[in-house]
Structure 1
Amino acid sequence: MSTVHLVVPQGVDDPRRPSGGNTYDRRLAASLTALGRTVVVDPVPGPWPGADVALEVALGRLPDGAVAVVDGLLAGGAPFAVLEHRGRLRLVVIVHLPLGVGADPRSPVVRVESAVLAAVDAVVTTSRWTARWLETSYGLEPHRVRVALPGADRAPVAPYGPGGRLLCVGAVTAVKGQDVLLDALARLDDRGRRDWSARIVGSTDVDPAFAEDVRRRAAAFAGRVTLTGPLAGADLDAAWAGADLLVVPSRVETYGLVVTEALGHGVPVLGSAVGGLPEALGTTPDGRPGTLVPAGPDALATALLGWLTDAGRRTRWRDRARRRRDHLAGWDTTAHAVDAVLADVAAGVAA
């Protein structure tokens, strides 16, 4: 069976709403097509999670026995739609970020999502960390959870700069931690270090109140912190070309596709030691192309100070980032991993 239906949130190709999950879904569709699969993309209108009726309609259109790969943002909050079609369809859920991460284990979201994932034919996660979390927190059997790491592109290498050009890419939300970055930058100012600038790239529409607070606080840095909104194409390429260091101050991160995007440009990374970020950062024979520190402004400020004041460290991290770039796996590797799951599901052996 070569046809697969990829059921995704509506707007995954909207440049105003870039995200790691959207990128993954788009690139997976293209890469499975390149492998010879017929991929039918079925967008589902929001809001998500909770679009049970919309997902029910989308799945209801599919013929008996069809293989459907459903984005976890849809499936995790739509138990009735999934359970209604379990058995009639061959269902695979791709979990980018479990809805239950950070939730009370007794909460409805945990009960619902764990029941949905236990009911489908297979689960694909985008990091080993997420797979372990699902096995430990939801009791999923390891053989039913498969990992397909995101791919990366080897882009033009960013030229070496003075070191102080910081870049933070991601939707402006509490999860992504731009407030943590601002707190860390304020600590640098307190120590007399003002030889830096920071660009915060990402949508401000996901959590408008949080984003407005970040914007207000950024104004206190007299132009050294700018919020650009989401960037794509040549504008995003220019942001990478003008960056010395990617800063990822996230509170939660199941993988961190932006990390491999930075490494694809030869840009080193300073991030929080959370979730799947160590997998994304990886290492070289000489060490990591950057570093990960405990989440929070104190450790981040200390690491930023070390980066700004130690030219040798900057050179080492940059050189390692370029070496790591040369060994990044492409999206074809992701597609092969998912294709193997689809073959097992079609043959009835995945569960």
Structure 2
Amino acid sequence: MHVGLLTAGDIHTPSGGHLYNKRLCQWLEAHGDRVSIYTIPHRSYGAHLTDNVRPRFRQKLAAIADSVDILLEDSLVYPSVLQLNAKLAAPTVALLHLLPSTVYQVGDSMSESLLTTLHAQAERLYLNSVDGIIHNSDLTKQTVNNMISPSKELVAPPAGDRFDPNTGHSQRTRDVTDTLRVLVVGSVCHRKGHDTLIESLRLIPDTVDLAVTVVGQTTAEPEFARQIQHAADRLAIPVTVTGAISDDLLAKHFADADVLALPSRYESFGMVYLEAMSFGVVPIGTTAGAASSVIGDGGIVIPPNDPNALSSALEAFALDRSMLRSYSFRARNRYGEHPDWETTASSIQEFLTSIVAG
């Protein structure tokens, strides 16, 4: 089977969606399929929409579809193809990591409400144009099923098993360290809730000993990232902002951390919580989106936009190391309940094969 993947931007950019795509392509190739990756520039939503009427893009997309047995479309590119899929020779499958309409639902302004409505209409048009849909979570499936009734769909959640953590050592030391080591992993942007984190740190008494490391690219929302850096520099609690780093360095940060704090305003899945739990690191997420279903009883779930709840959770772990140790074991056990990548990827291959077969 020749599988095409159409995505936007650099597939090596550190993000959960791109990591999912890369691992899927590598697995398919290792298990007998041919994979071709096609990328288009990541632009504004409006610019992507214009691709539907650009002759050169239409010809390029048609040529891609002519050369593959099936075309996977990352949700990043859906505005570029929503009116073109019906004319393509190959069947198309939507690979849904995050839908824009769910992002705008995290706000409550009139403009965000309007954007949610407009995006939902476009998403409905796109989702009705594909031959199959791959959801990254049950929540994404539920969101889609509230818009349309897909004929073929699959829930294929990400796995958190790309690292090989020495969990035995890390769990034994969690209740003897002096400083609570807090890790934040994710693109520095409004949706990830870094501003909530900063506010929570301001509420923690000076007598509580903790240190924070923020890992993630700072280019998605540069002004927001600058504001976070400025605010972090003015805190009494030490906060280190690393920017994007390699997988090897990220693994070291996970191994050194006690708690992962990512108070996102929305997560369609939240792979980073799962990766943290693989190290026995205790995740703190929010009730917005699918994070709570990933974390389960392996960590703490708080409301979004609630710095008081976050500061209370961090302070509790800093002052009660037996609780931290208990949660560390629970986190590792919770990680073990999730499917591994072999299970996820093989289910996708079977799903794609069934669509090609008709």
- Common fold: TM-score over 0.5: yes
- Relative to 1, partners in 2 of residues 1:48 and 1:58: Cα closer, same or farther, differing over 3 Å? farther
Q: 1:197 and 2:211 equivalent?
A: yes
State the secondary structure of the residue aligned to 2:204: helix
| 1:134 aligned partner | 144
2 CA distance for matches of 1:341 and 1:211? 40
Number of equivalent positions: 333
Q: Deviations over 1:250-272 (max 9, x none)?
A: 00101001011112222111111
Q: 1:22 and 2:18 equivalent?
A: yes
Q: 1:275 and 2:277 equivalent?
A: no
Q: 1:266 and 2:276 equivalent?
A: no
Moved more, 32-41 or 154-163: 154-163
State the secondary structure of the residue aligned to 1:188: coil
2 CA distance for matches of 1:227 and 1:56? 42
Q: Name stretches of at least 5 consecutive residues in structure 2 with no aligned partner.
A: 106-111
| 2:344 aligned partner | 334
Q: Deviations over 1:106-164 (max 9, x none)?
A: 7332211110011110111100011101112x2x2155332110122152235234261
Q: 1:122 and 2:125 equivalent?
A: no
- Relative to 1, partners in 2 of residues 1:186 and 1:116: Cα closer, same or farther, differing over 3 Å? same
Flag the structure with higher helix content.
2
Q: TM-score with structure 1 length normalisation?
A: 0.88
Q: CA deviation at 1:81?
A: 3.5
2 CA distance for matches of 1:55 and 1:247? 42
Q: Name stretches of at least 5 consecutive residues in structure 1 with no aligned partner.
A: 283-287
**1:61 aligned residue (60, 63, 85):** 63
Q: Deviations over 1:295-335 (max 9, x none)?
A: 12121112222222222211111111233344442222121
Identical-pair percentage: 28
Q: 1:38 and 2:12 equivalent?
A: no
Q: 1:108 and 2:121 equivalent?
A: no
**2:165 aligned residue (136, 148, 156):** 156
**1:322 aligned residue (332, 345, 348):** 332
2 CA distance for matches of 1:250 and 1:38? 36
RMSD of aligned residue pairs (Cα, Å): 2.1
1 CA distance for matches of 2:73 and 2:353? 16
State the secondary structure of the residue aligned to 2:43: coil
1 CA distance for matches of 2:44 and 2:75? 10
Q: CA deviation at 1:66?
A: 2.9
- Relative to 1, partners in 2 of residues 1:194 and 1:77: Cα closer, same or farther, differing over 3 Å? farther
Amino acid at match of 1:95: L
Q: 1:289 and 2:298 equivalent?
A: yes
